[in-house]
Structure formats: C-alpha cells, structure tokens
Amino acid sequence: MKKHTVILSDYSRKPESPSLGVIRQYSKCLIALPVFYDNVSVICNDDLLTKKVSHILANAPHMANKNNKLVSLFAIDDHIFMIVSTDRPVVNSHQWIPYYAQYVSGFFVFCHRHSTSYIFDNCGVPVFPLSGIQEPNMSLLDFERDTHSKSMTITKDISVFFRGRYNTRLPRKFLARQIQEHITNAHISNSGDHKSLPTQDYVDLMCRSKIAWCPRSVKSPPDFECNASTGREFEAMCLECLVVRPSIGTIETEERVPGVHFVEIKNDSSDLIEKLRYYLEHEDERKEIAHNGRLWWERNCSTIARANQIYSDCLKATGATQ
C-alpha cells in the first residue's frame, strides 16, 4: 500500500481573516485523513509547502476582481492543489485558470457571500459550517459527535429558530415578525446588530430548536447557484433540527428531496406560517424528516464524508492509488 503525505500551511503563523477562517474548515477535514487511512500522514509546515509552491506563485497573475482571492495551496506527495475564495467562481476565471492549470492537479473553490459562507469544492457539496467555531482543543470529528449527542438529549423547547441579518431586509423582517406573532416559543435574533453570540450559546439554541427557518439570501438572484443553500441548513441537519426553506436549486452529489430531507415552502414564503404550524403539530413527521436530514448530512457533509471525498478526488486527479 502506497504511503501518501499531505502538506498543509501552518495557519497559526498567519493573522485571522474571514477567508482564513473558511480555509481552516477545509484543512480540518484534511487533517482528519489519518483517522480513516493508515497510509496517509498530514504535515502542517509553511516552509516545506513554500519549497513546493514558490515557483507557482513567482509569476502568479493578479485577480482583477477584489472579491477573488487565492487563499491557499496544499500538496499531496508531488501534486499541488489550489484553493480559491471568491464571490462568483466564474468571474475572471479566464485570467487565472490557464496560468495555474500549468502547475496544479486540481482546484477547490470556496464561494463567499458577504456574511454567509457558501462552501463548495469540485464535488459541489458544502463543508460542515460549524467547524469554524469549534472548541480549540477538540477535533472536528469529536465536535460533530459532541453537538449531535447534545441535540439528542437536550430538551427541544424552542419551536422555531432563526439567526441572520434581517434588519435591512424588509421581507425577512416582515416574516420574522409574523413568526413571533403566530408561533409560540420562537427564537428570532438579528446577527446584523453586531452583538456577538458565544459559540456554546449558539449551539445550545440550535440543539433546543425543533425547526430552523432558513430563508434564501437576498443578496443574489434566486437562481444564483451559490445562493441556493445557506450554512445554517447543514448545521440544523447535523443537529436533527427540521429545515424549512424556499425551493432549492443547487446541484449536489446526492440530491436533497423536499418532504424527505427538508420542508420546502413557496418562494414568496406565503405558506411559511402554515408549514411551521403543521410540523409543530405533527411531531412524528417532523422528527422523521429531521432524522432523514441528519442521515443526508452524514453521507455528504460530515468530516468522514468530506475527508473521503477530498482524498478520493485528489487521488483521481493525479491518477494515484490508495
């Protein structure tokens, strides 16, 4: 069995930034590889990585769009993979892809939409968003298991949970007010008020919630692919909290089915209150769909699934064997 070495950047030497926070999520999945593969070792070493990639960055073209940014490079054996952070993955791609394609074996793309991160790679499946706020001394795998265990034992006394920016978004603000007026024990908070919510408090709120309302972002057109899902949906699925959201259009490795993995409402949200009331009154149906959502997350978004997919994609791109 061939031994494979993965070389990552040592992020502890770099200043904190939104892009860096996202790339750490990706790296934590790669760091988990030795847990699942005996023939893989992972090294975090900036100097060693620089020796391998310095020739690539020497004449790297500047990306004209300020929202496009080369985030990181990582290596598996003698093959280099590039990670890009961008608002729109197709913007200016003709300027930089031909250059980097000369040197790298594959691309992984992260799509940012301001305060919300939509994280995709060449599989088209998001990474578990909560990994960016886990306890520093707890592995991502342990963190996922710990939060899920808590969601199974904690009392679900919150009917509907929503946390997001809605202070300048009239449709969201109106819907949030409707929920508070018509649904008892709802928890609606505005993350745009710049008040920090401690990680543990956020996790506890999600664990205590029966339903998570996940409206589509209004910062992009409804058919914009990276706008089709929000990170909170996958957090809710992990914690077996029923996801209620408008229709979904993104392409995924395993399609999520309305009524099976989540509850779909009309794009104008006119049936939101009706659907919330129905699934609060029909507990068995709510729990079944929430559990199906959890199983979907395990197959597509968990650290185990993500590490396997990343590693398999990289080996396939290089023609290597496990």
CATH number at residue 279: 3.40.50.2000
Q: By mean pLDDT, which of 1-5, 88-92, 163-167, 228-232 is the weakest?
A: 88-92
Q: Are residues 170 and 295 both part of a single domain?
A: yes
Residue 246 domain-assigned? yes
Domain hosting residue 188, numbered range: 140-300
Pick from 74, 70, 107: nearest CA to 7: 74
Strand partners, 244: 213, 263
Q: Is the pLDDT of residue 231 over 60?
A: yes
Per the structure, the count of domains in the chain is 2
Q: Are residues 221 and 73 both part of a single domain?
A: no
Q: Is the pLDDT of residue 157 over 90?
A: yes
Most confidently predicted of 50-59, 63-72, 176-185, 292-301: 176-185
Choose between 217 and 190: higher pLDDT: 190
Paired sense of beta strands 4-8 and 69-76, if any? antiparallel
Q: Are residues 110 and 210 both part of a single domain?
A: no
Q: What is the DSSP letter of 217?
A: P
Q: Is the pLDDT of residue 274 over 70?
A: yes
Band of residue 240 on the pLDDT scale cut at 50, 70, 90: very high
Q: Quote the pLDDT of residue 283.
A: 96
Q: Are residues 119 and 149 both part of a single domain?
A: no
Q: Are residues 213 and 169 both part of a single domain?
A: yes
Q: By mean pLDDT, which of 134-138, 247-251, 309-313 is the weakest?
A: 134-138
Burial class (CB in 10 A: 0-12, 13-18, 19+), 204: middle
Q: Are residues 111 and 145 both part of a single domain?
A: no
pLDDT digits over 83-115, tens only?
Answer: 776 655 556 667 777 888 888 888 776 655 433
Q: Cα(95)–Cα(86) distance, rounded to whole angstroms?
A: 14
Choose between 44 and 131: higher pLDDT: 44
Q: Are residues 290 and 309 both part of a single domain?
A: no
